[in-house]
Structure 1
């Protein structure tokens, strides 16, 4: 599924802009699952809101590259212990040009500010995604 998502209403263009960025960063499969899982439910409105405001108004701003936004997200999601969101954003960080080493260093860096439990939980998620997407570390 690409482009418009059937069942989600048209708006002022932020949804379409956000949907395009969201797909580029997170991948079609991730976005399709997020949007179609909530169609016809009370949760559909939050998916539209996130696509319009986070992806269509924040991620489309000048001032920070997508790479920088991904790096920030890794730290914030670690601090929040938002493991399920972190998984998708590790893949987004890879798409946005962060290396395996940079992602690992970002999580290590969070340990000094967010605490070891949050960093360890995040690293478990990061390790799963890196191994799934890039294979085992070879050096």
Structure 2
């Protein structure tokens, strides 16, 4: 891949990341950037968001739904919280998020789903979607 294509992918990724997570997320991400994590941040922006999220094969809502299920299976609560926020931005409803997590309970087990429900509840409550 040429430098221009990599730069374009990184710019596209940063734009998509901002649309999904908001400008505040980008500000926090930039403040946390250092010599140790810079390569990982660049990889995330360029490859994850600039190449994969930018593809046309699935819409953003579908990608969010898949990510919630995968992050539940992998038991990655910090990333799950970010992707529940992104899923709401992408049009997922509370009921859809609940169904994704119930489906994951069957295939990933109750401990993973229980943690995912806890994380999702915290995010949904903080955004005023739950009492």
> TM-score, normalised to structure 2's length?
0.92
Alpha-carbon distance, 1:36 to partner: 2.3
Runs (4 or more) in structure 1 with deviation over 6 Å come to: none
Which residue number in structure 1 is paired with residue 104 of structure 2?
110
RMSD: 1.3
**Larger helix proportion of the pair:** 2
> TM-score, normalised to structure 1's length?
0.87
Structure 1, unaligned runs of 5 or more: 1-9
**Mapped contact 2:64–2:90 kept (Cα < 8 A):** yes
Q: Matched residue pairs, number?
A: 127
Which residue number in structure 2 is paired with residue 16 of structure 1?
11
Alpha-carbon distance, 1:91 to partner: 0.5
**Mapped contact 1:77–1:83 kept (Cα < 8 A):** yes
Alpha-carbon distance, 1:23 to partner: 0.6
Which residue number in structure 2 is paired with residue 46 of structure 1?
40
Separation of aligned partners in 2, 1:83 and 1:21: 22
1:125 matched to 2:119: yes
Structure 2, unaligned runs of 5 or more: none
